[in-house]
């Protein structure tokens, strides 16, 4: 038992963190990104030691992307509203000045009352209300859950195929990977999935379902049993997550 634990302790720890991450992702909690920084940092060594070089490289990307994801979820909607209010304020001021060049018009356009009217809680609620954002599964300062834009489908598919081919070439040319095709596939699709997750697109779950199925097979082949079991569970919960996020997006 001691020997087993000493051999698989990292597999066990990262599996536990993976379960925590999945629960937080299912609940659309911003805390998932904190776990998303710690877990892949540990996975780098785990994957590299088992010859999954693509996954090890992906773990580095996950760590950096988790920082980006946290920033987007936390401040994305707020920044958009600030820019919108700023643009509205400039347009409103110009209109007031054009309508009346008098000191009175300038005073009205620049007064505390005008500023308050342009940036009041009521205006913020109208542009991106707490109720609408909460219905989408986040606080008033977070990005809402939305559906994947159709205009991005072909562009995203093209990026995925290019990333798959490029990663496959690197694994074949510069490593001794025994599963380069599948390793490259999970890496390329994970790039797309993590980006879609950061943007809070409902369809990000579909990308992860495909990734999880292939990863489950790879980890069985490579003798990483706990990770294999974790990714098998990921498939089931990802289906549930897709259903939940789809419902939340429709309520927004």
Instruction: Render pLDDT for 163-220 as a digit per residue (tens, 0 to 9).
Output: 999 999 999 999 998 899 999 999 999 989 989 998 999 999 999 999 999 999 999 9
- pTM metric for this prediction: 0.62
Which residue has 């990921």 as its token pair? Answer: 234
* Relative orientation angle of helices 153-174 and 180-198, to the nearest 10 degrees: 140
Q: What angle do CA 243, 248, 250 make, to 5 degrees?
A: 95
* Relative orientation angle of helices 53-99 and 32-49, to the nearest 10 degrees: 150
Written as six digits, the tokens of 84 are 């919108």
Task: Catalogue the E-assigned strands of the chain.
Answer: none
Q: Are 248 and 137 in contact (CB under 8 A)?
A: yes
Which residue has 């001021």 as its token pair? Answer: 93
Q: Each residue of 76-107: pLDDT tens digit?
A: 766 666 666 766 665 555 554 444 544 443 33
């Amino acid at each position: 038992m001691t020997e087993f634990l000493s051999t698989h302790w990292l597999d066990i720890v990262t599996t536990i963190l993976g379960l925590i991450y999945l629960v937080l992702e299912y609940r659309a909690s911003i805390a998932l990104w904190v776990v998303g920084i710690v877990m892949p940092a540990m996975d780098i060594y785990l994957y590299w030691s088992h010859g999954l070089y693509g996954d090890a490289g992906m773990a580095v990307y996950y760590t950096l992307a988790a920082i980006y994801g946290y920033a987007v979820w936390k401040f994305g909607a707020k920044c958009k509203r600030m820019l919108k209010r700023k643009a509205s304020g400039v347009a409103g001021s110009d209109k007031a000045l054009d309508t009346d060049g008098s000191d009175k018009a300038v005073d009205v356009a620049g007064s505390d009352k005008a500023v308050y009217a342009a940036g009041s809680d009521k205006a913020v609620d109208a542009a991106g209300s707490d109720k609408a954002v909460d219905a989408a599964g986040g606080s008033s300062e977070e990005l809402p859950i939305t559906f994947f834009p159709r205009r991005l489908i072909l562009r995203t598919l093209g990026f995925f195929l290019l990333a798959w081919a490029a990663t496959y070439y690197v694994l074949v040319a510069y490593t001794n990977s025994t599963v380069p095709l599948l390793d490259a596939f999970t890496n390329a699709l994970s790039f797309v999935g993590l980006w879609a997750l950061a943007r809070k697109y409902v369809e990000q779950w579909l990308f992860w379902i495909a990734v999880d199925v292939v990863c489950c097979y790879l980890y069985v082949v490579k003798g990483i049993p706990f990770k294999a079991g974790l990714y098998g569970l990921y498939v089931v919960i990802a289906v549930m997550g897709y259903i939940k996020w789809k419902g939340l997006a429709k309520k927004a």
